[in-house]
Amino acid sequence: MKYVVAIAILSAALAANAGDVAAGKARSMICTSCHGANGISSSPMFPSLAGKKAEYLSQQLRDFKSGSRQNPSMSAMAAPLTPEDIENLAAYFSSLPAPIKPDSKTEPKACPQSKPSTASGDFLQVQGKNCAVESP
Ligand code: HEC
């Protein structure tokens, strides 16, 4: 029964995702030099992208491209992206498992009732334990 629910949620998530994960992966080579392999950054200078909501990621890329969010590195990176590239990249990074916080010694547990409380869909603290927020 749990599996049926999980599959239903997963297919809903996939259906809502306009971007093409494979195409995004193909385009993501350059991104991983800063954002890390699998979208998990090893430096606090670069945010991890893995597991963040696709709508959030695509919005940030559009904002960097338009200049409404400013960062010299990212403005340059976003400038040549087409709207399709943006959707695909967002779908790809969103599809990757979110990083485990460094202070978390246990496997991240999915928080059943958690909804991402931040726009970036980052981690929520639940009862003092880290748990990865599932993309809706
Ligand atoms: C030269 C290093 C570099 C490269 C290459 C790079 N980025 Fe970034 N990226 C950054 C930095 C630095 C930030 C944080 C900017 C800020 O603080 O506003 C960032 C932020 C972002 C964000 C916003 C994340 C958030 O949580 O708000 C997204 C999305 C993003 N990058 C996507 C990409 C994609 C997609 C690519 C490949 C096309 C890429 N980046 C390539 C350095 C880079």
From the CA of 73, how far away is ligand 1's center (Å)?
Answer: 7
Residue nearest to atom 36 of ligand 1 (CA): 31
Split at pLDDT 50, 70, 90, the class of 54 is: very high
Give which of 127, 99, 102 is closest to 113, Cα–Cα: 127
Q: What is the pTM of this model?
A: 0.73
Mean pLDDT confidence for 45-51: 96
| Confidence (pLDDT) at 129 | 45
Output the average pLDDT for the chain.
79
* Residues within 6 Å of ligand 1 by CB: 30-31, 33-35, 45-47, 49, 57, 60-61, 71, 73-74, 77, 89, 120
Give one word for 131, left, alpha or beta, with left for phi > 0 and alpha for psi -120 to 50: beta
Domain boundaries, the chain: 2-99, 100-136
Q: Which CATH number fits domain 2-99: 3.40.50.2000, 3.90.1150.10, 3.10.20.600, 1.10.760.10?
A: 1.10.760.10
pLDDT for 20 equals 97
Q: Give me the mean pLDDT over the 100-110 stretch.
A: 58
CA-closest candidate to residue 54, choices 110, 99, 93, 7 = 93
Determine how many CB atoms are found less than 10 A away from the CB of residue 34: 15
Indicate the top mutation candidate among 56, 73, 82, 89 to test ligand 1's pocket, ranked by most ligand atoms within 8 A of CB: 73
